[in-house]
Amino acid sequence: MKSALLITALAGIVGAQPTLKDAYKNAFRIGTALNTAQFSEEDKRALPIIKAQFNTITPENILKWMYVHPEANRYSFDLPDRYVAFGQKHGMFIIGHTLVWHSQVPRWVFEDAEGKPLTRDALIERMHDHIRTVVGRYKGRIKGWDVVNEALNEDGTLRQSPWMKIIGPDYLAMAFRFAHEADPDAQLYYNDYSLENPAKREGAVKLIRDLKQQGVPVYGVGLQGHNKLEWPSAEQQDETIRAFKALGVKVMITELDIDVLPSASGNRSADVGRSEEALAKFNPYTKGLPEDVEKTLARRYAELFGVYWKHRDVVERVTFWGVTNADSWLNNWPVRGRTNYPLLFDRDGKPTPAYAAVIAAAQAKP
Ligand code: GLA
């Protein structure tokens, strides 16, 4: 009796439940995005969660161009070095994010010394230098790179980013070839959001097929997974994973979260350029998540993990975009200063009912 009580008490403290990475160890890696306080081991609330629950990490910001290469002749490797050292120390599968993107990239990248648009050749050379320098520095340590992020429009056509306008559509193939040249063993991914929507997905399928036909070393597709309570459906998620599996590439869920707050505009996309007015009615859960929404969220997580599990032959990684609800970008986007609940750990770092549902979804499998 005494020992039974002791076991129950201990289970309550250390969690007799398996951790996320253990529950899914035969299926795929489980990861999280880290901010600077986290990989610097200053965030004492997040650190035990990171070490116990996750076996792969992605840097939320510090490898984006504007941070790692803020000026033409200056790279800033202090924080990325610290991030990679953290990953090595804790035995994590380390991801790099992201090399070529239209956002969080300084204007100078696309301009010459006089502020005029760069020529195609000069921009190719600049991209080559950036990729060679950044990927080369972490060769053999960063195991997978989001090479190109968000190259597609919602209708599946290529976004008219500065990369596209100045270089043309072959900038994608070049970015992958440069990354492969800098680290032939690194896994290289194309990463994007809303690929669960048919038009954008078809565009991505065509893009990846074309790249593969040219012999471009694309290892996998990153489905960002910035989800809503009602989107994507399990069927859409399933079809999307199958579409990429059919192309012979792996699938990573790279930035998983589920937004539980009402949308102010009805615009459901994850375009980082979007902003909406902060109004109290769009911030209804400042005092806690009502039980019915909490249950719906837990069911959604279980449903999505059911789909990932089913496709565990091609799904190699599921990475959450943040550790606790307090860390999530969704508290500030698309409306600043809201209280959102998109992840599996609450603001005190405690596992939520959605966490339990994700663990149960693994245990329920054969
Ligand atoms: C996109 C990017 C991420 C991050 C999120 C929002 O999905 O790929 O790096 O900026 O937006 O935080």
* Nearest residue (CA) to ligand 1, atom 9: 60
Grouping H, G, I as helix, E, B as strand and the rest as coil, residue 306 is helix
| Pure H helices in 42-119 | 46-53, 65-68, 78-89
Q: 62: CA distance to ligand 1 center in Å? A: 12
Whether the predicted pLDDT of 274 surpasses 90: no
* Nearest residue (CA) to ligand 1, atom 4: 60
* Nearest residue (CA) to ligand 1, atom 3: 60
User: Does ligand 1 have an atom closer than 6 angstroms to the CB of 325?
Assistant: no
User: Does ligand 1 have an atom closer than 6 angstroms to the CB of 149?
Assistant: yes
Task: Quote the CA–CA distance of 204 and 224 in Å, as a whole number.
Answer: 13
The pLDDT-based confidence of 4 (bands split at 50, 70, 90) is: very low
CA of residue 129 relative to chain centroid, distance: 25
pLDDT score for 270: 61
Q: 114: CA distance to ligand 1 center in Å? A: 31
Of the candidates 21, 20, 47, 18, the one whose C-alpha atom is nearest the C-alpha of residue 34 is: 47
* Nearest residue (CA) to ligand 1, atom 6: 329
pLDDT score for 6: 42
Whether the predicted pLDDT of 355 surpasses 60: yes
Q: Is 122 exposed, middle or buried (0-12, 13-18, 19+ CB in 10 A)?
A: middle
The pLDDT-based confidence of 269 (bands split at 50, 70, 90) is: low
- DSSP track, 11-36: IIIIISSPPHHHHTTTT-EEEEEE-H
Probe residue for ligand 1, chosen from 272, 328, 336, 340 as the CB with the greatest number of ligand atoms within 8 Å: 272
pLDDT score for 349: 97
pLDDT score for 323: 98
The alpha carbon torsion through 210, 216, 220, 224 (nearest 10 deg) reads -70
User: Does ligand 1 have an atom closer than 6 angstroms to the CB of 255?
Assistant: yes
Whether the predicted pLDDT of 21 surpasses 70: yes
- CB of 2 closer than 8 Å to CB of 10: no
Which atom of ligand 1 is closest in space to residue 150's alpha carbon? Answer: 8
User: Does ligand 1 have an atom closer than 6 angstroms to the CB of 257?
Assistant: no
Mean pLDDT of the chain: 93
Whether the predicted pLDDT of 268 surpasses 60: no
- DSSP track, 177-215: HHHHHH-TTSEEEEEES-TTSHHHHHHHHHHHHHHHHTT
Q: 151: CA distance to ligand 1 center in Å? A: 13
Q: 270: CA distance to ligand 1 center in Å? A: 8
CA-atom Rg of the chain in angstroms: 21
Q: Tell me how far CA of residue 58 lies from CA of 39, 142, 346, in angstroms.
A: 10, 10, 20
> Of the given ranges (184-188, 240-244, 360-364), which has the lowest mean pLDDT?
360-364
Query: What single-letter DSSP state applies at residue 159?
Result: P
* Nearest residue (CA) to ligand 1, atom 8: 149
pLDDT score for 12: 44
Query: What single-letter DSSP state applies at residue 143?
Result: E
192 forms bridges with which residues in the sheet? 223
- CB of 343 closer than 8 Å to CB of 318: no
Q: Please report, rounded to a whole number, the percentage of residues in the chain having pLDDT higher than 70.
A: 91
Whether the predicted pLDDT of 116 surpasses 70: yes
pLDDT score for 11: 42
User: Does ligand 1 have an atom closer than 6 angstroms to the CB of 272?
Assistant: yes
Probe residue for ligand 1, chosen from 68, 100, 255 as the CB with the greatest number of ligand atoms within 8 Å: 255
Q: What is the CB neighbour count within 10 angstroms for residue 272?
A: 16
Q: Is 83 exposed, middle or buried (0-12, 13-18, 19+ CB in 10 A)?
A: buried
Q: Is 306 exposed, middle or buried (0-12, 13-18, 19+ CB in 10 A)?
A: middle
Q: 148: CA distance to ligand 1 center in Å? A: 13
Whether the predicted pLDDT of 352 surpasses 90: yes
Q: 22: CA distance to ligand 1 center in Å? A: 27
Active site residues: 150, 255
User: Does ligand 1 have an atom closer than 6 angstroms to the CB of 329?
Assistant: yes
**What's the token pair of residue 21?**
């990475």
The pLDDT-based confidence of 7 (bands split at 50, 70, 90) is: very low
Which atom of ligand 1 is closest in space to residue 146's alpha carbon? Answer: 8
**Residue range 35-83, pLDDT digits in tens:** 999 999 999 999 999 999 999 999 999 999 999 999 999 999 999 999 9
Q: 103: CA distance to ligand 1 center in Å? A: 9
Which atom of ligand 1 is closest in space to residue 149's alpha carbon? Answer: 8
